[in-house]
Structure 1
Amino acid sequence: MNISEDELEQRLRALFADERLDLPPPPDAGTVIVAGARRRRRRRHAVQAVAGVAAAAVAVAGGLTMIRLHTENGTAVMNADGTGISVKPLENLTQGRPPAPSTPEPTSTRSIQNSAPPGVGPSTPASPRLSSSARPSTLPAVTSGPLLAADGFGKLRLGMSEADVDAQAVTLSDPQADASCTVYKAQGTGVPASASVVISKAAGLVVVTPDVAVHTAEGIGAGSTKDQILAAYPAAKEDSGGVVAPAGTAAEFHFRLDETGVVQTSLMSVTQDCAG
């Protein structure tokens, strides 16, 4: 059956206008389209960011490989790892003269003092530690043990005779006598601790050496250093095995020292006829 072109056109128009052929969009079509557009936009931004970071990393790596500082008077070259640095003067390019050969300067022997900024001097070496026998004189004063006074020990006083000592509740024992003097062991309630004493027939009690660690009124005692003794007694003098310091006008302290400091203290009369 042959139909004309006009009739065919009319049939096609009627067919396309038929509502049964329409495909209505789903209710959430708009939301889906917007979400898809947002995902594509985020992906595009992420790709751009990664590309930028990669480009920056490449630029930094290339820049750190070699840093060259060109100045008017020379060229400084420093490796990226910091292991080498050299300074080369510009070659003499005066017309008619060949460039002078440059001698590389050693890079690992530069003096710290030469590289220090102006006004900063070389560092001062730390002072050596003091030995045990030269500790500072600012240590705390010694107050442990009984007091050995400048004129005696407990109730004992320099110049006392044997009878005077006995009257002070002090017992004298173990005598060791010579022609003019006798060494005793002194004990009793009249003394804070036992002591060795020397009594002269002519001058009376001339030496007191306590058997325990004592201290003086100036804070010198067991463990005190020579510097502490000299600080407490400016007129003190070194003696064989220790230091002798004045204790008033009629007596003196004899401090015996070892590497730990004072280990024994004696009080002696200045005027005597007995051996110390």
Structure 2
Amino acid sequence: MQIYPLQPVDYLVIGHVTRDLTPDGPRLGGTAAYSGLTARALGLRVGVVTACDPDLPLFELNDLALAIRYGDTTTTFENIQTPAGRIQRVFHPATTLDLSMVPEVWRNTPIVHLGPVLQEVDPKLARAFPNSFVGVTPQGWLRAATPDNRVTFTEWPEARYVLETANAAVLSIEDVQSSEDLIEEMVSSIRVLAITEGASGARIYWNGDVRYFRAPITAEIDPTGAGDIFAAAFFVRLYQTRDPWEAARFATQLAAASVTRSGLKSIPTPEEVKLNSVEILP
């Protein structure tokens, strides 16, 4: 396992970095990459616990601290757009991630983000950070691979176990196949739940209330990673303000701006962060 540099961080994200196959060639992806770089853009020191093959180019993550378990494979996704919607395929899943892979110096990190992409994050990690704000993006716990490598929806038996301990969760409406019943089940288990709805924005459940946050109209080029950018911005702002409504406003604006660029170029710019920030009163 490769660990460097071993220093405390403010934001720890646990999940696979991925190789994403695109018409323009392979590129780096995964919640760990998009959310980690977003947290860094917001001024935090960021650590990533992940797994991949040693040949995966990671230069775009040079500003992050990486704890990597190297193996023979890197989780690889291919998105195919069809008139009936997106078909997603996955190949070569990397190894699972558990507490043994988290450096001791990172086990009291203020914000911990569990970001599985395909069942790779041990659900027990949700209860392994009692002194941290724990945010989860359960997308990868709701995915499975068929024998022909297609990504499909699956049940999440550990949902209550994870959500009852976490401080907040972010999911897309696509992750739950637009099931309002499933959303209601999750609402009963989590303190704060954000459901993103693409260009329509997001809705936030908190304290028995639900509010909707409309996204500004933008010229969409590539929506990849927008949900992960929303999640990191939401978790950071929620940790800072303890106000889910303010966190949602902030995250919705940054996620909307992100779709105007492609790949990891969608990470918020300093100008976008400054434009959408408001003073946090003591």
When normalised by structure 1's length, the TM-score is: 0.19
Larger Rg: 1
Task: Indicate the structure with greater helix content.
Answer: 2
When normalised by structure 2's length, the TM-score is: 0.19
